[in-house]
């Protein structure tokens, strides 16, 4: 390993603390809503046949 190589297995104490905190505490309502939002975005991105039930944006014009 040269002086310019990064230790990719290193986990900071902050990351360890946050991982343990997340494992022992429930998610807040805003965290749950954010997770659901990003799951929907991922589904829309990954599913080529995804159809939104809300219709077209400019449908009323």
Q: What is the mean pLDDT of residues 4-23?
A: 92
Q: Is the pLDDT of residue 52 over 80?
A: no
Q: Measured on CA atoms in the order 11, 12, 13, 17, is the torsion positive or negative? A: negative
Provide the pLDDT confidence category of residue 1 given band limits of 50, 70 and 90.
low
Per the prediction, the chain carries an average pLDDT of 88
pTM of the entire structure? 0.57
Print burial letters for 7-16: b (CB count within 10 Å at least 16), e (below 16).
Answer: eeeeeeeeee
Query: Structure tokens of 11?
Result: 């986990």
For 18-41, the pLDDT digits (tens) are 999 999 999 999 999 999 999 999
């Amino acid at each position: 390993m040269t002086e310019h190589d990064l230790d990719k297995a290193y986990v900071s104490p902050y990351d360890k603390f946050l991982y343990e905190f997340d494992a022992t505490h429930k998610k807040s309502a805003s965290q749950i809503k954010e997770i659901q939002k990003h799951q929907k975005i991922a589904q829309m991105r990954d599913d080529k046949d995804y159809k939104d039930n809300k219709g077209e944006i400019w449908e009323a014009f």
